[in-house]
Amino acid sequence: MEVVRKDIKNLHLAVYPPHGRVRVAVPLRVSDETVRLAVISRLGWIRRQQSTLDQQERQSEREMVTGESHFVQGRRYRLDVIEQDGPASVVIRNSKTLELRVRPGTDRQKREEVFWRWYRQLLREQIPDLLAKWEPVVGVRVASSGIKRMKTRWGTCNTEAQRIWLNLELAKKPPACLEYILVHEMVHLLERHHNDRFRAYMDEFMPQWRLYREELNRAPLAHEDWEY
């Protein structure tokens, strides 16, 4: 178990995939004994999360070769790698096939880089319209947004800079999940903590948000649902 002391208000327990590592984020002034008791009180919850992670189906590391399955916006596609001279590209050819065109001899790492650039572009194309839709609803102005790969969060925000970051992995998820995370981070510009006020905002703006959270938690980056 990892204990990290931070300038936060509440104690957070998290269980991380793939093996159920436990991490506790602790306010600076909370005693070690309080941390110990908090963890003991949640042992049942921790074990349930670890059991859930053990039972989840996980994709093996991708080799970026023909025949593999890859997800795009919630749909599974069969990868077809075509080696030819010319610029590298990724194209959805039909409802079942995802075509990756690369130069002959391109290795796995370079193929994957092409793929991630394409995923990034997919998200970039969606974000402006989503911001235009939700800024007047939530009543906030997002100064800037960005996309990056994150190990433990689907999104994050800097409340002072009014900046939102979205996880590149969201390109694999259904579009509604991207929309949920964007709204989630926008609401944090109104309320920093996952408290009753935050949940009331989410219920008001996106009543079905819990369904999208469940969809993401089927293959989570981390499981961090509890505050003490």
> Is the CA virtual torsion 194, 195, 201, 206 positive or negative?
positive
pLDDT for 54 equals: 67
pTM for the full model? Answer: 0.73
pLDDT for 148 equals: 94
How is the chain split into domains, by residue range?
Answer: 2-55, 69-227
Structurally, what CATH architecture does the domain formed by 69-227 represent?
A: 2-Layer Sandwich (3.30)
pLDDT for 151 equals: 81
* Residue with more model confidence, 124 or 219: 124
Residue whose pair of structure tokens reads 């991708």 in the numeric block:
62
- Across all residues in the chain, what is the average pLDDT? 88
Whole-number Å distance between alpha carbons of 33 and 87: 59
Q: How confident is the model at residue 216 (pLDDT cuts 50, 70, 90)?
A: confident
* Residue with more model confidence, 65 or 59: 65
pLDDT over threshold 90, residue 62: no
